[in-house]
């Protein structure tokens, strides 16, 4: 098996951290870079979380972290602090031991895809500001990307930040629409509703069991996800939501996908009421498709993949305050 060269574009909190762990530890992935985008929590906290994640995997310094766009293209930043708390999971480390790449995240996306045209895939699990900025900076960029896997939108279903919009598309709707219209060769969408809510939500009892596997990664998983599962349950969701790690997982293991279909996807940018709404038109409407929308995944196999990863015994090189290692 040849590992898949991939860049993770992330607003690192909660499941974004688990996605980075999967990118580092799954032998199917060759993680080239992590690019950071404004999203879930403060930009500095997101960078700290990415470095913390590399450290808990015992791989700090082995994959570059690039700071990208610190605010959406046109709008003011909207945090998800209500979902993630401060986003730290109560963990911290001495960040002076962690080096942030000098190159801007968008420049890294442009360079890495230019060095290996048609070979590099991108998993975008935050607002699409970095990806859209790369599209408008270099009109050849989209054509150089092998596959783009996006966590965003809902397939004619519920939103999570408003009734009609999923967070990543809501925060930067212009960016999302630019990406949908950019002509990527192989664009896949993993949605909030129904796929995350139905197939990628870990029920409380299973979640607690995973947190007690006894490894530093399992304790890290629980620390980073505790605030979110509490929030999710408070709004009627039955467990811990893992849309971002699912998005990487289906790139690495396409057999997880049970149903997928071509859709014409457009994102609402004009209305205040439905800002960020993803209009997903299926075949009946005869529109030219621009994305493959994942409709169902094998949740059991996905959770088993995460469990196998969390069982890995890693040795962080630097102490993590708040995390018991032994």
Region of 244 please: left (phi>0), alpha (psi -120 to 50) or beta: alpha
Residue 230 CB neighbour total at 10 angstroms: 12
Looking at 109, 125, 229, 310, which residue binds ligand BDR (CB under 6 A)? 125
Q: Are 301 and 256 in contact, with CB atoms under 8 Å apart?
A: yes
Region of 27 please: left (phi>0), alpha (psi -120 to 50) or beta: alpha
What minimum distance in Å lies between the beta carbon of 20 and ligand BDR? 12
Site mask for Ca ion (CB under 5 A), range 86-125, x = bound:
---------------------------------------x
9 lies in the site for Ca ion, by CB under 5 A:
no
Residues numbered 234 to 263 that lie near Ca ion (CB under 5 A) are: 244
Looking at 227, 244, 274, 310, which residue binds ligand BDR (CB under 6 A)? 244
d(CA 74, CA 91): 33
Residues numbered 149 to 208 that lie near ligand BDR (CB under 6 A) are: 151, 160, 166-168, 192
d(CA 229, CA 109): 32
Residues whose CB is less than 8 angstroms from the CB of residue 70 and which lie 6 or more positions away in sequence, other chains included: 38, 43, 77
Helix and strand numbers (H, E) in the chain are 13, 11
- For 135, the 3-state DSSP assignment is helix
Looking at 9, 16, 26, 268, which residue binds Ca ion (CB under 5 A)? 16
Size of the site for Ca ion (CB under 5 A): 5
> Footprint of Ca ion on this chain (CB under 5 A)?
11, 16, 125-126, 244
> Footprint of ligand BDR on this chain (CB under 6 A)?
15-16, 40, 80, 83, 125-126, 151, 160, 166-168, 192, 243-244
């Amino acid at each position: 098996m040849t590992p898949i060269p991939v860049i993770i574009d992330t607003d690192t909190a909660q499941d974004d951290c688990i996605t980075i762990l999967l990118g580092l530890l799954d032998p199917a992935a060759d993680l080239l870079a992590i690019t950071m985008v404004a999203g879930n929590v403060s930009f500095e906290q997101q960078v700290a979380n990415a470095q913390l994640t590399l450290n808990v995997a015992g791989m700090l310094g082995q994959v570059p972290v690039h700071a990208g766009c610190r605010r959406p293209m046109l709008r003011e930043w909207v945090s998800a602090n209500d979902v993630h708390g401060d986003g730290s999971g109560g963990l911290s480390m001495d960040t002076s031991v962690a080096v942030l790449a000098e190159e801007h995240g968008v420049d890294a996306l442009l360079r890495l895809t230019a060095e290996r045209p048609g070979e590099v895939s991108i998993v975008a699990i935050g607002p699409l500001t970095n990806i859209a900025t790369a599209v408008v900076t270099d009109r050849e960029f989209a054509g150089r990307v092998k596959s783009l896997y996006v966590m965003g939108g809902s397939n004619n279903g519920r939103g999570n930040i408003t009734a009609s919009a999923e967070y990543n598309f809501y925060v930067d709707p212009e960016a999302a629409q630019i990406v949908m219209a950019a002509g990527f060769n192989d664009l896949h969408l993993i949605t909030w509703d129904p796929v995350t809510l139905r197939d990628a939500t870990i029920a409380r009892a299973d979640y607690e069991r995973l947190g007690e596997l006894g490894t530093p990664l399992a304790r890290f998983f629980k620390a980073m996800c505790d605030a979110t599962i509490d929030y999710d349950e408070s709004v009627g969701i039955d467990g811990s939501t893992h849309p971002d790690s699912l998005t990487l997982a289906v790139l690495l293991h396409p057999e997880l996908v049970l149903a997928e279909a071509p859709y014409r996807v457009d994102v609402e940018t004009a209305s205040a009421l439905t800002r960020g709404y993803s209009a997903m038109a299926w075949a009946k409407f005869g529109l030219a498709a621009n994305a493959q929308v994942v409709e169902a995944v094998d949740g059991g196999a996905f959770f088993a993949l995460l469990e196998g990863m969390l069982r890995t015994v890693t040795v962080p090189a630097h102490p993590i305050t708040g995390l018991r290692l032994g």
